[in-house]
Structure 1
């Protein structure tokens, strides 16, 4: 076949464009000029049109770069509202036949393979087999860039410290579920399937937005010009908020809470960020359990350091808020029931879902046994981790994914793909052992960059380095080899401080990393590893060796037996690094289904009763391989030895203390040591009862028959000021002097605990009844606040209730802790009426005040029913807002159901947060349809469950609750009904006896009102045998339905529910989850129902 001059010129263009494309990941990075692309496509059109079908197939593949480049150029410029092929054939100047899209699209995929470019074969829509990859290589068509930028700017505004990885992970998950609303499909697909490419583009767009918002042009940001034009247009229209550029500042992720993993100890953890004020006082909610966590700055003027909080069992989410900074409230998703696979890097960093897993060692945590993980390709087992007791039924393993293609937890809807393209790496060497800065490692070697092609390929690479204060040290400098000398050329040496190193190249193949560097610094510790002794740790001395040009405030550090670490300062010119010298040492920690302690060097203080009730694990980090045994000692004589169990690492050992149950029955107080001579005591076990009595003598608490143990602390709560919380007092020689404000404060509730200053645990807002003692005394709390003092006087029976001035949080504390206040019979009714009057005066404000009242989530339904707020309407409720969370879901719905109904089906942040708590069922319920109306009904399965013994019940419940579901999910409702079944024997017998009669009365009332929806909701819960405990789930729904009708103006319903208040309070005490769910369902169904329901709804 003869070759025309035009064809010869096409061969030259093919070589040129092929070279361009081989230096890129996506075609969008190296797009040809529009007119040149059209001329090339026109030439391709001539070849296509003048050849037979078989010849056309060959010709299209003869010019892969031209076909790819021209096709993507048309998609970038002209794709709009689903229209592509007509625009392409117009540019080719041909009239296509029926097979054109098949021929051209198949060739496009083959040509991508020829040039080694991604084919995006994971796009699972058959209708997008060809257009999908074409649009992915377009990096989003120009016409829909506005949707993408809007999505980015909205999300950054809503979520402080948002990272590109987190944004793409969030958008990918939403897109997979079809809920990335008001966003054009090419944007949705790019974020869903783009993986590392989408993250890299988003990272550059974040920088472009910051630069342009700050007044710049963005010319130095490596993105196609059309991105700059779109952002500049936003600024011109005034739609771009001026933001402080972040590219040179502190790492974004430091502003947010993150999941991390301790694979051989505490398992998944929530890492709270550093707080600039120097003091951090957090309220952390894990599932429904609220904890108070504090941290303080190590250096004056420095931020409070990051803090880690264990996640003792699978939960859907955890949340944290600073008590002083509610604007820093944050929520972190943990387990997604649709995709319950959690992935962490080898060093424990959480890998967000929706992004490809690295082809490297990765920790994978998933429900079930190892065989329940579906692996495409091959994943080599490197190590087995140990899950905390509360995660029993889950598997934790370190797998090498370098030869794997995808991972899927058994039954999950989504698979996790493994990254297929090689990316740049920053090589640091090993960190300096025993030296950290802000809990992060410090490296002494000079880092280098490893490029995928060794720097000799066609790809262009650039380097940027910024310091901790935001100074740009290197900006977009070309990078050739990545050797240390090239990377750090022009940067002051020796390197000292925190640096952000960013390498950019083809999209999705760059890397960014934040490093603490102290070039050539070494530490010599004597001994190299500190073991424990009777006092703490063996003494240690550390010598620092510094390079020329670097100095320190101390070159020799001596650590006494009670010292774990010391702070130092390193200086090199104007650079400063504040660091912590902490030589490696032995630690101990403890884990059970209900408790987890951080590693400590002091003997753990454990409770005899807890060890006998449940298996707990003592974890010892020896720092060396060996064959350790634990010795249970009574009066320094060994009565039992323990061997380590599975889930050990070379130097970390786990011991099941449940094996001590029989020993503890005979010897309630023991010491646990690593040696017979009790030189290395790792734990002391004492009964929960640490004294026989507590007396008040001469302004001090005096323990009778108290144990003598270091760290013994009395937590003192004034009974007549239940809002005050605990005052910790050190107990010495059995005595704890009271501060002046507690000496005449009336009766005191005292809880004893043994505190390790190196491993502090949260202090409860109010003591557990079986773990505290009442020290009776006259008086009331005397403070400078007249209202507070009058309220305390009222509880002492010496003043009127200050209804006009009492703070809502004080009133909530009284209602919540009502049963432990010991109010006289003649006083209690008046106080109860006053509390109800205050709370019901402004129900919306009262519900919002719940956030600062530290009420345990399981107590919420009881407290709300006792207060009467569940049937009290509020005209202002629609405007009120509470943060969504497992613990705050009920009051949030009572306040904002109307707002949720209005937002149903929208791209609403409120709705997204509600879904995270309630699950997918929320969408159906908001439309007025309960997807699981019979879930929780007592049927034959409940009868069978009743016949199981306690061990069989526990095994059944554990298997059924491996993966947490949304609060409105059917499985969650069944578990809530089973919880009630476990508690029936403890409930006031009158509830069970009267349940059927009360249920009939409620149905009769609703039938008179013509409330068919309410009757159906109750009927769905009615059992076949309508007697006793079997009707309790139906009764729970009936009471909730009547209460929420009362909110909507039905006075007779209010009268009825007030008569049944006592019975409902008792039911809520023993079935808090079921009562919570039914209140939420009743409220949302009525709010979504006919106008006669919703007219006065919240």
Structure 2
């Protein structure tokens, strides 16, 4: 192969990767990616100087990203990722070489604007596996699990499936047929996983189980159809009515009412009375939701979280469903709420680029700018009132548009900011002391920001 073709691959893949959130979204042919990585690898491993190896990895960062992600997606085998890498390039590796390749991978993510993920374990291989997406040979097993869950939850959506799978340990997920790369992808990539699962659910609903209207690549659709026996996905077809997004309990923030548990109006779907039980560290609260009469407004209910707690457990009867909603991690107590939806953002999910609400312990009432650290300027928009029971905490609205990561001073774990820039509406003047039922501000006017 000529250098011109190899350089063409690098330049073409860089263009594809820019604007993506994970490497898998660039849809680079796995065969080409692993062929290019082999050429890169045999030259990289021959370099005796670590600085020369680093320069080569940075020069061909797109090849490195595509090759490592494709290897993770195609050949991950019960923890033998690095064995596949060294076998492919015909060399014996060690922990230092693993770190060099992983550092090169992270450099590629940051310079090409792809998402970063914070993992508590598998520091080197975990992020690579996440960017490879769901391995193609694992799609069928995921489709079977999703189909069984779909039968038991006929009005469920992608978010409720992810909440269900995230409530299981890795061992339980494995026993259900979900392998490690798939479990990591489903539990760590947030909106990316939700979009993928939603498309898989659409594929299940299609009359032939393989309609391209789901927006999935053909190999994925073929794996789904094969796993479900061809026409197995046509149980309900186009007549399926799915629950709208937001059909599961969630932790939210309101300027006026503080931290709350949002209880979705499930009584509108079941058409029967239900009862909620919300528990947190010794407190329990029951909420009855009678079946609505025709024409009644369908609204969520809210229960205040009256003190900083690690977790809230939500149960609903008569279905006996349970949700464990994590709130505070004692090792990293920084809470971040989406600036638009006000939903609590999971600790390892990338933050939206723009305004968010943050909350953190602040016994000395230090300025927010002194309690947060970042790699770029973070604008403090406003400091909110402290909710009753949360004394010693600070709640503030900040804009993280110009930072790629933030953290509490003294904390080791970073919260990474999404690289995706989306059009958004800029808030105009607010009507003071008034908000909507779901906690959003009422505006006197607004402007449009292209967000590019």
Does the pair score TM above 0.5? yes
Q: 1:442 to 1:282 in 2, by over 3 A?
A: farther
| Per-residue deviation, residues 642-683 of structure 1 (Å, max 9, x unmatched) | xxxxxxxxxxxxxxxxxxxxxxxxxxxxxxxxxxxxxxxxxx
Q: 1:308 to 1:216 in 2, by over 3 A?
A: same
1:198 is aligned to 2:196? no
Matched residue SS, 1:220:
helix
Matched residue SS, 1:305:
coil
Aligned residue number for residue 384 of structure 1: 384
Aligned residue number for residue 138 of structure 1: 132
1:28 is aligned to 2:24? yes
Residues of 1 paired with 2:384 and 2:444: CA distance?
A: 31
Q: Which of 214, 219, 222 pairs up with 1:226?
A: 219
Residue pair 1:367, 1:394 contacting (<8 A) in 2 also: yes
Residue pair 1:276, 1:304 contacting (<8 A) in 2 also: no
Tell me how far 1:423 sits from its aligned partner. Answer: 3.3
Aligned residue number for residue 349 of structure 1: 342
Q: 1:431 to 1:149 in 2, by over 3 A?
A: farther
Residue pair 2:210, 2:224 contacting (<8 A) in 1 also: no
For 1:411-430, what aligned pairs fall within 5 Å after superposition?
A: 417-427=415-425
Tell me how far 1:45 sits from its aligned partner. Answer: 5.0
Q: Which of 78, 82, 98 pairs up with 1:81?
A: 78
Residues of 2 paired with 1:439 and 1:278: CA distance?
A: 25
Tell me how far 1:139 sits from its aligned partner. Answer: 0.9
Q: 1:233 to 1:113 in 2, by over 3 A?
A: same
Q: 1:427 to 1:284 in 2, by over 3 A?
A: same
Which of the two has higher C-alpha Rg? Answer: 1
Runs (5+) with no aligned partner, structure 1: 455-1098
Residue pair 2:209, 2:233 contacting (<8 A) in 1 also: no
Higher relative contact order (CA 8 A, sep 6+): 2
Residue pair 2:19, 2:420 contacting (<8 A) in 1 also: no
Matched residue SS, 2:260:
strand
Tell me how far 1:137 sits from its aligned partner. Answer: 1.9
Residues of 1 paired with 2:101 and 2:73: CA distance?
A: 17
| Per-residue deviation, residues 585-632 of structure 1 (Å, max 9, x unmatched) | xxxxxxxxxxxxxxxxxxxxxxxxxxxxxxxxxxxxxxxxxxxxxxxx
Residue pair 1:20, 1:30 contacting (<8 A) in 2 also: yes
Residue pair 2:428, 2:447 contacting (<8 A) in 1 also: no
Aligned residue number for residue 229 of structure 2: 236
Residues of 2 paired with 1:114 and 1:432: CA distance?
A: 38
| Per-residue deviation, residues 183-206 of structure 1 (Å, max 9, x unmatched) | 422223323432443333333333
Aligned residue number for residue 395 of structure 2: 397
Residue pair 2:428, 2:446 contacting (<8 A) in 1 also: no
| Per-residue deviation, residues 293-325 of structure 1 (Å, max 9, x unmatched) | 55755xxx435522535437458334444xxxx
1:14 is aligned to 2:10? yes
Q: 1:63 to 1:209 in 2, by over 3 A?
A: same
Residues of 2 paired with 1:447 and 1:233: CA distance?
A: 49
For 1:356-755, what aligned pairs fall within 5 Å after superposition?
A: 356-364=350-358, 369=363, 375-377=372-374, 380=380, 382-388=382-388, 391=389, 393=391, 395=393, 397-402=395-400, 403=403, 405-406=405-406, 417-427=415-425, 450=450, 454=452
For 1:278-289, what aligned pairs fall within 5 Å after superposition?
A: 281-287=273-279, 288-289=284-285
Residues of 2 paired with 1:248 and 1:51: CA distance?
A: 58
Residue pair 2:267, 2:291 contacting (<8 A) in 1 also: no
Aligned residue number for residue 505 of structure 1: none
Q: 1:79 to 1:376 in 2, by over 3 A?
A: same
Tell me how far 1:261 sits from its aligned partner. Answer: 4.2
Matched residue SS, 1:382:
strand
Q: 1:185 to 1:49 in 2, by over 3 A?
A: closer
Runs (5+) with no aligned partner, structure 2: none
| Per-residue deviation, residues 966-1014 of structure 1 (Å, max 9, x unmatched) | xxxxxxxxxxxxxxxxxxxxxxxxxxxxxxxxxxxxxxxxxxxxxxxxx
Residues of 2 paired with 1:135 and 1:291: CA distance?
A: 42
Residues of 2 paired with 1:350 and 1:427: CA distance?
A: 18
Residue pair 2:363, 2:393 contacting (<8 A) in 1 also: yes
Q: 1:217 to 1:150 in 2, by over 3 A?
A: closer
Using the size of structure 1 for normalisation, the TM-score is: 0.33
Using the size of structure 2 for normalisation, the TM-score is: 0.72
Residue pair 1:37, 1:70 contacting (<8 A) in 2 also: yes
Aligned residue number for residue 302 of structure 1: 295
Residues of 2 paired with 1:51 and 1:404: CA distance?
A: 32
Residue pair 1:383, 1:398 contacting (<8 A) in 2 also: yes
Q: 1:349 to 1:227 in 2, by over 3 A?
A: same
Residues of 1 paired with 2:105 and 2:261: CA distance?
A: 46
Residues of 2 paired with 1:427 and 1:29: CA distance?
A: 26
Tell me how far 1:382 sits from its aligned partner. Answer: 1.0
Please provide the CA RMSD for this pair.
4.9
Q: 1:365 to 1:447 in 2, by over 3 A?
A: closer
Residues of 2 paired with 1:346 and 1:296: CA distance?
A: 31
Residue pair 1:361, 1:401 contacting (<8 A) in 2 also: yes
